[in-house]
Amino acid sequence: MRPLLLATRNAHKTREFRQMLGPGFTISDLSLHPEIDEVMETGASFEENARLKASAVSRKIPGLIVADDSGLEVDSLGGEPGVRSARYAGAGVSDVANRAKLLRALSTLPPSVSRKARFRCVLVLARAGKMIATFEGVVEGGIARQEMGTGGFGYDPIFLPKELSRTFAQLSATEKNSISHRGIAVARLRAFLEAYPLAG
């Protein structure tokens, strides 16, 4: 079993990583490390934020660390919420508030305006403050006009992946993980780790 620590306290993300990485990996996260302060996401891109988290956490905890930064980009909103996806409606707000703000913003635009959007995920693998590799996953789609489904988290109830008529929140975990931005990035991470020396 290969131990891997995720630089997150988001239980939803940790669960998805466990599902996607499967057997062969022992996944833990920062919920076991209350002594680690939250890393401020001050980067201008998902990769910059993931690097900040990976660097900070890997300097304090031994072993392989994976940091994730991901979010939703809506073309007609100039790429928002982007790196501010988790705090789009304000710091510490709920997923419901973030989704409501996004739907309100789109409702002020003409009906003919594109609702094209994408989810983007960047993973950074690090050890002892040094970046080892970076992995990215993107899934194209659009924003529904109302929430649909009860699964998933974040913007899942309003994101319609391309060529599907169901939101991420209407898909099973297996279906979502097979096509999602995080699923793509984690598959690339898993392939890298399977070839990475255990003592590396």
Answer yes or no: 69 catalytic: yes
Q: Which of 37, 69, 95, 156 is catalytic?
A: 69
> Within 10 A of 71 (CB to CB), how many other CB atoms are there?
23
The crossing angle, in degrees rounded to 10, of helices 181-195 and 11-21 is 50
Q: Closest by alpha carbon to 56, among 44, 70, 42? A: 42
- Cis peptide preceding 81, ω within 30 of 0: yes
Residue with tokens 């956490």: 57
Tell the burial category of 44 from Cβ atoms under 10 Å away from its Cβ (0-12, 13-18, 19+).
exposed
Task: Tell me which residues are annotated as active site.
Answer: 69
